[in-house]
Structure 1
């Protein structure tokens, strides 16, 4: 291990600190780069000139990855202020822009976009402030910092010397080794299991009183919000029969205030009954928004930390064992000649973050999301437990584990903020468990169909098989993987059990049938080495033979009339999978039997490990059994209620996965059976639960999408209309003279409309390639007009951060797909124009065709499309003073889709020139 900074390193660091003013600044734009020289002169350079300069000398930049991409370089060595901020203020939020940095450091903000020259000056000021903060006697995050900075400096981190010189101003006399972050974390405490919750009802009057408390005395009362909070109490009353939960469908128009409307009765029920209510959203971004709202209920952060907990799947949290193993591995190696060791720099920033993190959440928590683009998303994911390889109590860091701490806090919390995927997965994996939550709120309820679809699907694919092999057999070849395998997790538990050891050996031997490293190359090269790979080869052959394989997109084919050899390959795979599932199941049962037979002698730690291992084996054995059933039945009829197909998954034209896929035609049926009927009360709420097409039963679509149609006791239903005056606050325009198949015409339309609105514009696309084409055509022109353009699938930034950047600048524009459309809250002037490239019809996949046939044909397509349009339109007006224009660049938009917009909103069919004129007139 390396020592703390020695005298020579400190002297060198001080010399580098003295030369900080000799570092020039570069802001890289779409077409030109602006440089602030050390003499204070501004230069405007072509991107080629800027690339040549930054390749010779390091510059001070904002986001080196984005700068390198714009300059056409694989990477740049630069003083990236984002990395400096991550070191100086670990686990603290900052918008990754110059304006965001200024605001985080208290240097003021402006509602106008910074010029390139002002950005250069601000960037130098920000860097200086951060270094000065490090050198301050009152610096909050000094603990362990010197050790981390030393390692990063030796790894070639450009900031290393400057950081050491600053942080050593006031030496860390504790000599804490900041790299070994687990030594500084506090152990979690495991209290007694909470008793079953009570069943006292929440009355409407009490819910309204709590709502008024949350709003404050000065807030204006909203009739719709009060109706909502009163109706939501149905969920928090005792149910009247088994399998008859109190289900309430609550559609709340934008501006109703539904979040506080359900927090009021939910928090009351939790307090009265000493129980827990789970509040579920669809996206991690909305988990964060809901967490912010809970600060109204719990203004004291310490009380909030105990009574409100964010829960996600364990793959979201940092694994301290993975961090330790990565750290020890990188410390053992020497730096590349004349270069930087990015793994050492990353693990240094991770160690700083983990030391001060709120809960260890690396995906959507307080971890800097942009680090994924800087160092590789795979490296970040490798520091979590994404493959379920946890050693549980056998891990040296078990008592400090972020996942275990979160799980235990959730058991004693009043409110748990989760996501649909976790809630449904828990219910499916722990069916019948009395500790599952009995009171649930599904916000963004229109997405429970999608969450159930993912949870109850079965994918017999190469990636799934390879993941299972790694889980069972661990690391089998070279490379950086730290997969530990079943043997390393079980060996210590079964040293005195010959039967278990025999079954373990059978499992590991049978697992050889699963795809191993480089399986894709062998399958595409017709050189499979296992029955699984042979099966995938025939699947790929059928898909490529029957689908249009040209282009970069994923392709699929029906399972009907299998190619010669596919059924035989399936039969062979069935035999091999059955031979794997059998010992896995028997080993699981044996471990569970030991829990019963040895109950009097097993210590708590061993019991926990045995139970966790047995349940994990049981789960994966059931998956293998389902795979075997699919392989055996190939060529025969598909079971009722399911749709099957074959597919080759591609990303940017590169084949990523091959498989056989099985989904429920109606996934809300198992959702109703496993989630709804097992609960006592469930609230499903959204602004777009129902489809209000002319002449239709507007609640029928809500029942179908939420699983309410499968319940013995019908749900209660209520619609609370929006308080906004949409007729006066919005315009809807359908542009009929733009050729939607012409990338140039579509891009020109976006450019003209975005310029007309002066920014504050969201462009939505139904295909990624059209988004990228539009970006390439308009980015430079918008930059010259002073309108920053951000884009999903182009900028190396996660979508939640892109939305934050867009929200922060009223002149910014953002391009995105469905992930941007759903659940984005951008109030005020930052969003005043939405442009759809075309009608968002459902993609005509095999799965969709089956559901279309089951749910009403053309009417089903139109319902889904109206809901998408309604959700997008709902992004425009978030406050009473907002104004906005909604544009569809598709002259073929059917009139029957226009019921997606609120009643009374006029829809005009115009040409592009008139649309541009109307946007200018209405918004300005």
Structure 2
């Protein structure tokens, strides 16, 4: 065999395969592979993942994913050798040795795509590759050779200035007010039939659901009293098309968009896909269906432009910017969490990608040279003309709470409605912490260290607007002086020692001392907390000083906002449209920061020693990751966060739907179930009762599933727990999801079972172990077919894996709520043990619901905890027996149930 340009490396959980340059293929231990990889950079797939498995902090390697991202930007593939092979229409490798052997072939296939003209041309691949050749990016020369281009650096880096290729958005007249024509339930059924197609199998339950949901699209009778429909649709009903039918009808009749709000990004993209049934032409669909997220989710072209300028001083950043340039030209909407693959974010660095986002609230609007091509501005304008706007709960709640946008919708569908409580809990909380206060300082002052040039303070953003306004300039200067009281760069180190400076840092340091003195588990790796009262003497002293400092900051912020408003009123007719937009945006931003942050913080500090007001919960906390402090401060949450949510939504909403497969928790008391669902979603606070609708799942869970509670495994003995996971995973032949209530238990079990699982030829993946984001791990799990995945709640909530790729779920313990101070307060407010039971049943329901996604799915649910109370058993569907048995019986039953030849079909 001829000599290869590079060796190739594939890694498993416990061993590796190395293809040497002379063609010799060997199997190695991970330690042996690490030594070889450090001597000679190999070909790999997902460099960070490989490095983590080799036990290395960094790995010099040629990552095929970078080459793929250059050739095919904005296109997803599974970040594994098998995933790349499938994406390139090659036969997927069968085992670890095959994975190493195929890597050179994958390189050849990608370069062949370039040679054959299949490379994306929305940006100039030659100019960008030449720019990266200058900084010795290893794929630059092969790409240029494949394109027949000279291996010379470019005269300029204009190829990286991809904004010049983006189309400009156009300003349109404001849309007409929406109509109020209702959607007749019979019309909703007919639209549903159109969406499903004439040859679709009749699904009466889906039509019943569409009829019920259509009631939310009737005209409301009283101001501030929306029509609400609370609709539970069991898995398999097809609720997405069920609510799209009346939603698309209403939008077409009334000339206004319906906003569909979700909790996970997976569902957002699923809705977009389902909408193709109404608008199959992708160009038309892009106009009719717009995905909206908060500004912080989109790439900012000005930040990217600044990063390019900074690359002259730090050329090592250029390869990442080159790959981002390729993506910018190819992306649908600039959403960094959309068609930018999660694995590319992992490879390029989350901090680096985050720095390119419009997350700082520093937009200069019309003063930005890229304003007319801005992804955020484009999405805002596109949403006004769309029929469907697909957003997330967080954005919807923030917009409704502010209530000052002229284009607030009147109709909503809240899918994944069981997450409304948690989303509102985040949206309406107040955190007087190091991260929040230091972020405010950075927003006000801008970068204070030379290396952080992209952070623009108020002065830099509007100095051209106030050049001759002495009052405004005085207010800006006063803001700059007062903001010095907030934490500056390096605050986490200072508050942990004796170097705290400024009112905020001194307060945070005192809070941290109180938490460490009083909290349980202060010597462990997890976040800790304690009651605010009684506050230590130094906490009270520094709280008074911080309150005075915040008072001194609030005054010039209000003064500047008032001055900008006055100028708009007095001189607005003489300003250009972009200038008016900038001045109004800055005034609104100052008002929001002062009202939403400073007012809340000052109230908290004033109330120290008096206790939290009714309906609120306070605590001091130190947030930690793997034992390292990353935030500290005072946390205030609503006991019931749906109260502010409904108060902000009701005035503008005419009608809305809250829907999910798990709105109710299955207590066996139907009236109590609905009452609890209304409480958790907030609809019980409305003046008019919500319409209740429940459509059961069409699946035969009694035949398609089994539930076992293992009663002979000691859950405090990790050797026994690991042995149970290993036996069950092997009995199922993979397709197994292991869920854990604690990260430490997950890691311990993974270390114990990985060798046996891998020896059986099953891939094993683990959250908090493998260097990949959760969604990427789930995508791999879905695509591999027989993989095993270990994870925590984030995995449970994000999994949607139809087919045999998920056929077994194993829970290590009953998933009781974490007993922190916030839960303690809510437990007391919402029924004590009944609240615990309700949350736990919902978690069990949601986890079980992952097993069966299609009519031909089969699955087993196992709980390794004999302490499951019988009152929680109704979490499982009627007719499903909860069998309490020993591990051996559960293993044998799992093997028998999942392995009949008739069911051994390929994974979806």
By the TM > 0.5 criterion, same fold? yes
Question: Alpha-carbon deviations, 1:525-577, whole Å to 9, x = none?
Answer: 12211011111111111111111212100000001111122112111111110
Output the CA distance in 2 between the equivalents of 1:891 and 1:254.
Answer: 28
Output the CA distance in 1 between the equivalents of 2:390 and 2:91.
Answer: 33
* Structure 1 contact 832–883 (Cα < 8 Å) conserved: yes
Output the CA distance in 1 between the equivalents of 2:309 and 2:157.
Answer: 17
Structure-1 residue corresponding to 2:334:
360
The correspondence of residues 37-56 of structure 1 with structure 2, limited to 5 A, is 37-56=20-39
TM-score of the superposed pair, with normalisation by structure 2 = 0.96
Alpha-carbon RMSD across the aligned residues, in angstroms, is: 1.8
* 1:170 shift after superposition: 9.7
The correspondence of residues 485-564 of structure 1 with structure 2, limited to 5 A, is 485-548=457-520, 549-564=522-537
Residue 413 (structure 1) aligned with residue 394 (structure 2): no
The alpha-carbon distance between structure 1 residues 120 and 565, as it changes in their structure 2 partners (threshold 3 A), is: closer
Structure-1 residue corresponding to 2:803:
828
Structure-2 residue corresponding to 1:569:
542
Residue 645 (structure 1) aligned with residue 619 (structure 2): yes
Structure-1 residue corresponding to 2:895:
920
Residue 351 (structure 1) aligned with residue 325 (structure 2): yes
* 1:432 shift after superposition: 5.1
The correspondence of residues 243-282 of structure 1 with structure 2, limited to 5 A, is 243-282=224-263
TM-score of the superposed pair, with normalisation by structure 1 = 0.95
Output the CA distance in 2 between the equivalents of 1:174 and 1:518.
Answer: 40
* Structure 2 contact 515–529 (Cα < 8 Å) conserved: yes
The alpha-carbon distance between structure 1 residues 781 and 153, as it changes in their structure 2 partners (threshold 3 A), is: farther
Segment of structure 1 superposing worse, 162-171 or 397-406 = 162-171
Output the CA distance in 2 between the equivalents of 1:578 and 1:294.
Answer: 50
Question: Alpha-carbon deviations, 1:284-306, whole Å to 9, x = none?
Answer: 22212222222222111000111
* 1:478 shift after superposition: 3.4
User: 2:580 aligns to what SS in structure 1?
Assistant: helix
* 1:442 shift after superposition: 0.3
User: 2:810 aligns to what SS in structure 1?
Assistant: strand
Output the CA distance in 1 between the equivalents of 2:418 and 2:3.
Answer: 53
The alpha-carbon distance between structure 1 residues 661 and 236, as it changes in their structure 2 partners (threshold 3 A), is: same
Segment of structure 1 superposing worse, 27-36 or 655-664 = 27-36
* 1:168 shift after superposition: 3.0
Residue 734 (structure 1) aligned with residue 674 (structure 2): no
How many residue pairs match? The answer is 895
Question: Alpha-carbon deviations, 1:851-891, whole Å to 9, x = none?
Answer: 10000000011000001100110011111111110011111
Question: Alpha-carbon deviations, 1:789-816, whole Å to 9, x = none?
Answer: 1122222222112111111122111111
Residue 384 (structure 1) aligned with residue 350 (structure 2): no
Structure-1 residue corresponding to 2:905:
none
Output the CA distance in 1 between the equivalents of 2:117 and 2:429.
Answer: 56
* Structure 1 contact 822–871 (Cα < 8 Å) conserved: yes
* Structure 1 contact 677–711 (Cα < 8 Å) conserved: no
Structure-2 residue corresponding to 1:7:
none
User: 1:878 aligns to what SS in structure 2?
Assistant: coil
Structure-2 residue corresponding to 1:60:
43
Structure-2 residue corresponding to 1:746:
721
Question: Alpha-carbon deviations, 1:325-364, whole Å to 9, x = none?
Answer: 111111244x6xxxxx2x111111111111111111112x
* Structure 2 contact 71–119 (Cα < 8 Å) conserved: no
Output the CA distance in 2 between the equivalents of 1:642 and 1:255.
Answer: 39
Output the CA distance in 1 between the equivalents of 2:134 and 2:232.
Answer: 58
The alpha-carbon distance between structure 1 residues 906 and 485, as it changes in their structure 2 partners (threshold 3 A), is: same
Structure-2 residue corresponding to 1:204:
185
User: 2:781 aligns to what SS in structure 1?
Assistant: helix
* 1:385 shift after superposition: 1.5
Structure-2 residue corresponding to 1:768:
743
The correspondence for 1:105, drawn from 80, 88, 96, is: 88
Output the CA distance in 1 between the equivalents of 2:617 and 2:190.
Answer: 49
* Structure 1 contact 676–682 (Cα < 8 Å) conserved: no
Structure-2 residue corresponding to 1:676:
650
Structure-2 residue corresponding to 1:449:
421
User: 1:829 aligns to what SS in structure 2?
Assistant: coil
* 1:257 shift after superposition: 0.4
* Structure 2 contact 65–344 (Cα < 8 Å) conserved: no
The correspondence of residues 277-356 of structure 1 with structure 2, limited to 5 A, is 277-333=258-314, 341=316, 343-356=317-330
Residue 469 (structure 1) aligned with residue 441 (structure 2): yes
Q: Note the residue ranges of structure 1 that are not aligned, 5 or more in a row.
A: 1-18, 336-340
Output the CA distance in 2 between the equivalents of 1:146 and 1:524.
Answer: 50
Residue 168 (structure 1) aligned with residue 168 (structure 2): no
Segment of structure 1 superposing worse, 60-69 or 710-719 = 60-69
User: 2:379 aligns to what SS in structure 1?
Assistant: helix
Residue 147 (structure 1) aligned with residue 127 (structure 2): yes
Question: Alpha-carbon deviations, 1:599-636, whole Å to 9, x = none?
Answer: 32121010110111111111111111211111121111
Residue 80 (structure 1) aligned with residue 47 (structure 2): no
Segment of structure 1 superposing worse, 530-539 or 129-138 = 129-138
Residue 437 (structure 1) aligned with residue 409 (structure 2): yes
User: 1:699 aligns to what SS in structure 2?
Assistant: helix
Output the CA distance in 2 between the equivalents of 1:140 and 1:467.
Answer: 38
Output the CA distance in 1 between the equivalents of 2:357 and 2:148.
Answer: 32
* Structure 2 contact 73–120 (Cα < 8 Å) conserved: no
The correspondence for 2:169, drawn from 188, 191, 196, is: 188
Q: Note the residue ranges of structure 2 that are not aligned, 5 or more in a row.
A: 900-908
Question: Alpha-carbon deviations, 1:701-740, whole Å to 9, x = none?
Answer: 1110111111101110011001011111111100111111
Question: Alpha-carbon deviations, 1:214-264, whole Å to 9, x = none?
Answer: 111111111110100011111111111111111000000110100000001
Structure-2 residue corresponding to 1:688:
662
